[in-house]
Amino acid sequence: MAGSLEYEKLTAFFLDLPAGARTRLSAALHSESGAEIPYRTIILEPLMAAQRALGELPQTLRAEELLLAPLDPFVLPIDVKTKTTGLIGHTFRERLPKWLATDGAPDIVRELDEQLARTADKAAQDTAIDQAQDKLSRHLEEALAAANGDKARNRLVGRIGGNNAGADLEDTAVILKRRFVLAKFAAETSGPISGATGPNMDETLKTLKTRLDPIAAKHPELLPFALVLVRKKLPTPQTFARLAAVACETTDAARILETPFVCILDLALAEAEREQIRAKAVSSSADRGQILQAVRGFGAATRALGTEVDLLSDGHHAKRLAGLKREIADSVRADLQDLSPRVRRLVRPRAQERNFEQHEIDRLVADLDLLLIARSYAEEIAMNALSSRIFSEVRELLDTGTPPLIERLRAADESAKPALKSRLSSIVTVSAKIFGSEYASLMSKAVEVASQPAQQRSA
């Protein structure tokens, strides 16, 4: 009925009714005896449309969005270059609803939309959505099977766009077809997995592997998706990489490659790639917290692969990892190369040089945090030589440049002291990153003493 002249007239009529009348009519139609009201289905659909338009009912999700809800746990937060089975591209997921409603499966979307509009019963709506998802799963499988060549596949997904749209659509069909299996597995692994760190970690991972074995045996195509759900529950990338070694009872990547659990290595690499792309995207932005988080995340993901698995030096995973290291090193290098000159300007100011503004100090402190992360993960982000050299330069500048400034403060007249004290306060903040909070506290006390008038210092 939706879209017909009668539907539009009834909707307009209900829009003009007082709010109380609409509420009473809706309550009657949804009551136990409401099913016996003549023309109930004809009345209910435009009434609910009017109530939604007036904000009296919550706006429901579009039918195409409800169809795709099972995909959401597997959607990437940002797009990456490399397609990894088990992960759905961000842009693909954003474009998929429109494609379904126009080219992909418009009849299925339209039928579900009409069914949802005819009823407000939650159980009936859930049944309609399940049935529509079954239809969509079969439809996508048939469409993908028919598009058995590159040209045909490109025509099928051309309106969605992106290099990985065909592979993402295959993953979509798998998720929809096996959504109940995945939902059951997700329920069994709900909440953080206890014991996934510490001395009992391997025992916990062995137990986890026993949950994964039935999926690997009965539905091997679902294993990557189950592992994506597992990764969300594990505390660190290292624990996830360790799962591959425990599941295969070896750290030898050559042997892991022969098992279904090789997809753990693929997913771990995908995690590293996401962090590398995120670091590159925010490297020149003012939000330093984002790049710190991204570089730390990349270092942790890369270290996990390097310590928990013996990757083949000429293997696919090792080569891809080396490429990611080079790319993130380029992003980090640009932010670290001018650190020493900035610290030098802070501790060895030229005559009449202005003090640093607060935003400059904040940026300097954030970049020192980045330097410390680069030193901690020097091998993982290919920054061994550069991070060590810059750290040594910064430490020497602070060590040798601060005492002369304190002496200048001690000897300065009262009019010059505020500017010097402000600069030294900034140096204390910076020094806390390099030498620690205890050293910074002692320096802060020295600055306070030096800033006092001579007679007070003598007393």
- Summarised one tens digit per residue, pLDDT across range 404-455 is 999 988 888 888 888 888 999 999 999 999 999 999 899 999 989 888 876 5
Given a cut of 60, is residue 458 above it in pLDDT? no
- Residue 291, in any domain of the structure: no
Amino acid 364: pLDDT:
92
Residues 70, 86: Cα–Cα separation, whole Å: 13
281 domain-assigned: no
Residue 48's domain comprises 5-59
Higher pLDDT, 81 or 122: 81
pLDDT at 27 over 90: no
What residues have CB less than 8 Å from 301, skipping those under 6 apart?
Answer: 237, 268, 271, 272, 275
Is 282 within the bounds of a domain?
A: no
Residue 38 has pLDDT above 80, yes or no: no
What does the alpha-carbon distance between residue 262 and residue 309 come to, in Å, rounded to a whole number? 11
pLDDT band at 60 (very low <50, low <70, confident <90, very high): low
Confidence of residue 272 (pLDDT cuts 50, 70, 90): very high
Structural domains in the chain (count): 3
Whether 13 and 143 share a structural domain: no
**Mean pLDDT, all residues of the chain:** 87
Question: CA-CA-CA-CA torsion for 87, 89, 92, 94, nearest 10 degrees?
Answer: 100
Q: What is the pTM of this model?
A: 0.79
Q: pLDDT tier at 133 (50, 70, 90 boundaries)?
A: very high
Task: Give domain status of residue 302, yes or no.
Answer: no
Tokens representing 91 are 């842009």
For residue 118, the model assigns a pLDDT of: 81
Give the residue from 267, 284, 301 where a domain finishes.
267
Residue at 225 is within a domain: yes
Q: Which of 206, 18, 44, 232 has the alpha carbon at shortest distance from 120?
A: 44
C-alpha distances out from residue 357 to 44, 354, 439, Å: 64, 9, 23
Position 4 scores a pLDDT of 58
253 pLDDT tier (thresholds 50, 70, 90): very high
Band the pLDDT of 231: cuts 50, 70, 90. very high
- Whether 277 maps to a domain, the answer reads no
Tell whether 91 and 238 lie within a shared domain. yes
pLDDT, mean of residues 139-163:
85
Q: Is the domain of 400 the same as that of 362?
A: yes
Task: Write the pLDDT tens digit of every residue in 177-212.
Answer: 999 999 999 888 766 665 566 677 888 899 899 999
287 within a domain of the structure (yes/no): no
Same domain for 80 and 35, yes or no, is: no
- Is the pLDDT score of 59 beyond 60? no
Residue 291's closest CA among 393, 231, 363?
Answer: 363
* Amino acid in position 32: E
Would you say residue 110 has pLDDT above 70?
yes
Whether residue 127 is found in the same domain as residue 244 = yes
Say if residue 99 is in the same domain as residue 30: no
Res 265: pLDDT:
96
pLDDT bucket at 350, cuts 50 / 70 / 90:
confident
71 and 27 part of one domain: no
pLDDT band at 225 (very low <50, low <70, confident <90, very high): very high
Asked whether residue 252 falls in the same domain as residue 368, the answer is no
What's residue 296's pLDDT? 93
pLDDT value for 158 = 82
Taking 60 as the threshold, does the pLDDT of residue 1 lie above it?
A: no
Domain identity same for 247 and 355: no
Query: Where residue 326 falls among pLDDT bands split at 50, 70, 90?
Result: very high
35: confidence class by pLDDT, cuts 50, 70, 90: low
- The last residue of one of the domains, among 267, 283, 306, is 267
Residues 247-269: what's their mean pLDDT? 94
Q: Is 319 among the domain residues?
A: no
What pLDDT is attached to residue 351? 74
How far apart, in whole angstroms, are the C-alpha atoms of residue 436 and residue 442?
10
User: 43 and 133, same structural domain?
Assistant: no
Same domain, 252 and 127: yes
Tokens of 434: 């390099």
Query: Of 59, 77, 92, which one is at a domain's C-terminal end?
Result: 59
Residue 230 sits in the same domain as residue 136:
yes
State residue 452's pLDDT score.
83
The pLDDT of residue 54 is: 80
Tokens found for residue 340: 């020493």
Token pair recorded at residue 345: 């300007």
